[in-house]
Chain A
Amino acid sequence: MVAPTAEALQTRSVRFRIKRQDRPGRPWRWESFDVPVEPGANVISCLQWIAANPRTIDGRDSNPVAYDAGCLEEVCGACTMLINGQVRQSCSCLIDQYAPRDGDVMRLEPMSKFPVVRDLMVDRQRLFHALTRTKAWVPIDGTYHLGPGPQDTPQSQQVRYKLSECMSCGCCLEACPQYKLEEHESRWDKAFIGAHAISQARLFNEHGTGNVLASDRLETMIGPGGVSDCGNAQNCVKVCPKDIPLTESIAAIGRAVTIHSIRKFFTGK
């Protein structure tokens, strides 16, 4: 790609086509805004400009576009949305790369696998519910001091460090053809749990102290909505902003549940 000159970047206006919805369950609509873009601008700074100047291209007064954002450095995952149809974090999405010329259009939509709260803001509660189902934590609470944890090798730390970079943004779920919108909480325990939770099960099962809950996690992975629901489309690993080896985690949990189920058949309940 030829980098546009600084002059060309400075004076341009980019059109934002935004999918808007006033509140849950209401019909959605497209609204477009022309935004004067400064070099280095990202989607969030443009949404801030729209919030200050909420006038559509028809000259109609609108209201600020609602969106979620937190860290603004791609580590919290809150600002995940569809940009030109592809899921990613909007804070790290530089306009110079997506819309280098005057009059270029950028399309913003909320993620489709989570219920819309308003405009670009979605409710990712199901994603965190999946982490609860997975028991994605190290159990250290107790009535007495547990002492130091077990020693770990640098090699094992390397594997887990990569997995620990997951920020629960939801990109892997949005791109997954097996993960579908489930509005009602009653369905969450049986619908597909998703790549992020499977990878977290691997992270904590490989942790020296976290693995005391390993069989609980594998029981979740064996059940409806567990690792068996993966269809191996492998979109998750391609859209993951942290390059987490999600497909390797899925295969590793596949191996773990194979062994777990055989062991259970011969020795367990």
Chain B
Amino acid sequence: MASTIAGFLDRHYFLLRRLHSLTGVLPIGVYLFPHLATNSSIVWGKLLNESKLPAGQLESLGIAAHAGVETFQHEVNFIHSLPGLVLIEIGLLWLPIAYHGLLGIYFAGTGRSNVDRYRYQDNWRYTLQRITGYIGVLFIFIHITSLRFGWTYWGLMPAFDPHAAASSTAQHFQQSTLGTTFIAAFYLVCVLALVYHFANGLWTAAITWGLTVSVHAQRRWGYVCGAVGLMLAGATVASVIGFSRLDIDAARQIEQVMRNGPAGAARHVEPGGSAVLSASPDGRDR
């Protein structure tokens, strides 16, 4: 078995290596842009200033209009309205990520870091690329299983509800048994690690494919990759802060109004007056 795998690797070595490089940029790396842009909309969404909710409705509930929640919910609704979403997820995300991750772990195992002897900046860059890769594989597994498949990890990570996108994401951050700070720090470290992994991978991919041959070209492309990384890092920090500090109850009421129309929230409150404000045991609000 092992020799069969080794034989397959040998015969298609170049193709497998280049596919590993390609999947890191496309689709995985490029996916970071819409993903982090959507997530950070919880902070910048209100700048769009186009709340579609009737202002009077929200005021009667005592909630300031929060277009960040609206924008985020709107984006999540769009994603969930895509035809064949599961096929898109499998084909463009899960399979490429699994391929890139598994081969990445294998390839990383063929090197041995020597930053202790050769303390060059580029050598640290190389070493960090491998460390962030390992972090990324672990994080993406936890991230997908918790937010997509609802594994709560014994209450550590409250589940996500696409119908209450912002409020359930905020619960994911704020209602963990380990506290908001822990989850926020966890996400910050892991996502920034992935952003670094992508920015540096984008830089080295240009060498791998032979786009940047001269040292000057490599330096110029380095500035571009650095700017891309800083932009994505900014979106990461904004997202984490935004969801760590979001008012869950207010967000939930806005989502209710979006779901049920202008009269929705009021109608929903009727039975006991607390249906909107209290979450069901699994963190989902029906």
What are the interface flags for A78-90 relative to B under an 8 Å C-beta threshold, 1 for contact and 0 otherwise?
0000000110000
**CB < 8 Å: which of B18, B127, B209 contacts A255?**
B209
**Does A164 interact with chain B (Cβ within 8 Å)?**
no
Is there contact, CB below 8 Å, between B111 and A251? Answer: no
Q: For this complex, into which size category does the number of interface residues on chain A fall?
A: 35 or more
A239 at the interface (CB under 8 A from B): yes
Inter-chain residue pair count (beta carbon < 8 A): 98
Against A, the Cβ 8 Å flags (1 = close, 0 = not) of B194-227 are 0000000000100111111111001000000000
A-B contact pairs, 29 of them (CB 8 A): A175-B114, A177-B111, A177-B114, A177-B123, A177-B126, A178-B110, A223-B13, A223-B14, A224-B13, A226-B14, A228-B14, A228-B18, A229-B110, A231-B111, A232-B126, A232-B207, A234-B126, A235-B114, A235-B118, A238-B118, A238-B120, A239-B118, A248-B213, A248-B215, A251-B218, A256-B210, A257-B14, A259-B210, A261-B18
Interface residues of B (CB under 8 A from A): 9-10, 13-14, 17-18, 110-114, 117-118, 120, 122-123, 125-127, 129, 204, 207-215, 218
The reply to whether A222 and B13 form a contact with Cβ atoms under 8 Å apart is yes
Give the distance in Å from the alpha carbon of A261 to the alpha carbon of B204 in the complex.
19
Q: Is the CB of A177 within 8 A of B14?
A: no
CB distance from B169 to the nearest CB of A (A): 36
Apart from the given pairs A178-B110, A178-B111, A255-B210, 11 other A-B contacts in the complex at a CB distance below 8 Å:
A175-B117, A177-B123, A180-B112, A223-B13, A224-B13, A232-B208, A247-B215, A251-B210, A258-B210, A259-B210, A261-B18
A43 touches B (CB below 8 Å): no
Answer whether residue A116 sits at the interface, using C-beta atoms and an 8 A cutoff. Answer: no
- Give CA–CA (A262, B185) in the complex, Å: 45
In whole angstroms, how far apart are the Cα atoms of A190 and B210 in the complex? 22
* Inter-subunit contact B208/A254 (CB<8 Å): yes
Once bound together, how far apart are the Cα atoms of A148 and B188, in whole Å? 65
Would you call A197 an interface residue if the criterion is a C-beta within 8 Å of the partner chain's C-beta atoms?
Answer: no
